[in-house]
Structure 1
């Protein structure tokens, strides 16, 4: 499941009259942490915004999914509600989620969100749609993996952990017969020592 971060960016933008004006814009970034979200927004906007810009705030967004249509780049925030039944108690529970979709207006956003969610297994309602101030959405792409921060030095990749476990298991299986033989030899030696002591006592 994607985790979306809302990034607020402040910079000097040139208006239609050619004058620079300070503006604050919002961007939605798909990332695994605040650190990665910051790295991605600086990387994405570094080649787009002329001059310096500042990321003034990063927060986790309540958006769970986005649907992009290429004919328009205006985002609309849709409130989705549906009812689920708790498997243990049998009680019904209302679930509310928020999604983004690009559309020319609210009516088109309504149609497109229904079109995008036509594979949902439960019936849902769209009680609210508003035009979003979000300028652009940056989903995670395969090429963005190089921006991920390195794992902590004390953590091993899962593949290495599994390989170590397999090696230890193989060594244990290989050494098992030898250990059993050594135990048997040690037992025989103990019996022989006890017999020798008994013979000395009898003499």
Structure 2
């Protein structure tokens, strides 16, 4: 089970025009605690950000699964409902979870979710799908990545 934390990082970004602009960008990091999330965020971003940067916020991300797609350049959050039948009450019961999919657009994100869910015995439906502002995701290792090829 992974513990993902969303770290918001503030720094001076050099724009294409050559001007410098203060930006705050969210990153997702796999860690055991808030302290480790801060340390891993600093470690992962040091090579990519020149100059000083500050971690302005860290919060726990309630994600049950992340599907990586090497073609994708953005991250989409999906609300997925697992559907079970309550035999005693005779009704459908939906259990919602949040998942993240890396894709180029929303249609590809839905394909990535469906491909990642292949082989799942439970019935499910993708209730909502929206683009996030997450810039990158840093799992513990490359082996932890569940890469989906479409």
Structure-1-length-normalised TM-score: 0.65
Greater helix percent: which structure? 1
Match of 1:76 in 2: 76
Could you tell me how far 1:50 is from its partner in structure 2? 0.5
Q: Secondary structure of 1:118's partner?
A: coil
What RMSD over aligned residues (CA atoms) do the two structures have, in Å?
2.1
Could you tell me how far 1:64 is from its partner in structure 2? 1.5
CA distance in 1, matches of 2:49, 2:98: 29
Aligned: 1:63 with 2:63: yes
- Tell me the alpha carbon deviations over residues 161-202 of structure 1, each in whole angstroms, 9 at most, x when there is no partner: xxxxxxxxxxxxxxxxxxxxxxxxxxxxxxxxxxxxxxxxxx
Structure-2-length-normalised TM-score: 0.87
Aligned: 1:36 with 2:36: yes
Could you tell me how far 1:93 is from its partner in structure 2? 3.5
Greater RCO between the two (CA within 8 Å, min separation 6)?
2
Which runs of 5 or more structure 2 residues have no equivalent in the other structure? 143-150
CA distance in 1, matches of 2:106, 2:36: 33
Q: Secondary structure of 2:57's partner?
A: strand
Larger Rg: 1
Greater strand percent: which structure? 2
